[in-house]
């Protein structure tokens, strides 16, 4: 049976904003990874490990998984903690 992970990707180190972090991704788990005998890189015969589906809403991704009999793990995003800082606090404290 196919197994997938549904999550919102975190922003990369090259991003400062959160513009592209609102899409939900359904990504299949890789079944059997093994080293390639020629190059030594990690390789797989499972082509589903290359598939990433994007959804606007979490419910859409869950419904797709249920409709296609895909087991899924739902990874909820962590809430971002915003600490308000002031430049003046560098000199006061």
Q: Read off the pLDDT of residues 70-83 as tens digits, 9 standing for 90 and up.
A: 999 999 988 878 88
Whether the pLDDT of residue 31 is over 90: the answer is no
In a 3-state reduction of DSSP, which class is residue 89? Answer: helix
The dotted CATH code for 3-10+21-33+44-92 is 3.30.160
Element (H, E) at 26: strand 24-28
Q: What is the pTM of this model?
A: 0.71
| Predicted confidence (pLDDT) at residue 1 exceeds the cutoff of 70 | no
| pLDDT at residue 18, as a whole number | 67
Closest C-alpha to 42, from 51, 53, 57, 30: 30
How far apart CA 20 and CA 42 sit, in angstroms, is 28
Closest CA to 54 of 12, 19, 21, 13: 21
The domain ranges of the chain are 3-10+21-33+44-92
């Amino acid at each position: 049976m196919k197994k997938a992970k549904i999550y919102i990707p975190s922003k990369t180190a090259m991003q400062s904003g959160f513009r592209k972090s609102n899409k939900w991704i359904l990504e299949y788990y890789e079944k059997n990874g093994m080293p390639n005998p020629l190059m030594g890189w990690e390789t797989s015969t499972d082509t589903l490990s290359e598939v990433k589906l994007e959804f606007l809403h979490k419910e859409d991704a869950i419904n797709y998984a249920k409709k296609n009999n895909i087991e899924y793990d739902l990874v909820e995003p962590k809430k971002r903690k915003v600490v308000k800082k002031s430049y003046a606090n560098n000199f006061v404290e």
